[in-house]
Amino acid sequence: MTKISYVNFINPLKVKYLGWKYICIILLMILIPDLGLSRDKGRSAFGITMPLYEIYGIDVSRYQEKINWKDIANVKSGKDSVKITFAFVKATEGQSLKDKYFNYNWRETKKHNIIRGAYHYYKPNVNSLLQAANFIRQVKLQSGDLPPVLDIEEVGKLGSDNMKKGVKKWLKKIESHYGVKPIIYTNVSFYKKYLSGKDFEEYHFWIAHYTKNSPNVDFEWIFWQYSDKGVIKNINSKVAFNVHKGTREELLTLCK
């Protein structure tokens, strides 16, 4: 095979046909093959491929059991030393359920300077205002906390119209009580089928989408849950990982 000389390749006769612009592109592709690395290509950390964003976080519930949050605050993973900046913790579900580890998780995340948020799992067959009251009884927001989150993934036996009315009532009650607009958590397919359009366009969304590509939705999501298979030392079960779309400063502007 004839060896190609880069010096011979770039000569005046070929320049007039290709132009310097194209020669530079070709050389960059040869010499720097990873120059075009995209956000979605990712980096390896915590046992998964993580999209290329600045701010990473996790969400947890009783399934992760008792977590050593001091370790979480200090852990770094992968060649890029990825850190966990924020955590959403499950607080309540339905009319009366409280997550077994909520008080512990809520206290310890704050203690170890992890930006924290609390979420409620919505049950569409249960009175929405009673569900809001359950959340309010358990969650006391402080300065620096992320807005409350409503996790909605079910339509319920009463249909989508009833579900949407209930969700709106919950959101309005929570906003009135805490003085901050809640965030809605859901997955891409549920959003497209039930929540898209003008009904909920005033709210920020946290979107679950377990692929390497960022969520394909018709709005600017604020959080993306991209995997539920993360591995963190001393946590026995897999952990869901998320990114915030902006910088740390932009994340802090969301906080109460």
> Domain locations in the chain?
1-36, 43-254
- The answer to whether the predicted template modeling score (pTM) of the entire model surpasses 0.85 is no
**Nearest residue to 227 via CA among 215, 211, 245, 251:** 211
Identify whether the C-beta of residue 231 lies closer than 8 Å to the C-beta of residue 48: yes
The span from the CA of 184 to the CA of 172, in Å, is 12
Q: How far apart are CA 81 and CA 234, in angstroms?
A: 18
Question: Residue-wise pLDDT tens for the chain (256 aa)?
Answer: 444 443 444 454 444 444 555 554 444 444 433 333 345 567 899 999 999 999 999 999 999 999 999 999 999 998 888 999 999 999 999 999 999 999 999 999 999 999 999 999 999 999 999 999 999 999 999 999 999 999 999 999 999 999 999 999 999 999 999 999 999 999 999 999 999 989 999 999 999 999 888 888 878 899 999 999 999 998 989 999 999 999 999 999 999 7
For 43-254, which CATH class?
A: alpha beta
147/170 Cα distance (integer angstroms) = 14
Residues marked active site are found at 59, 153
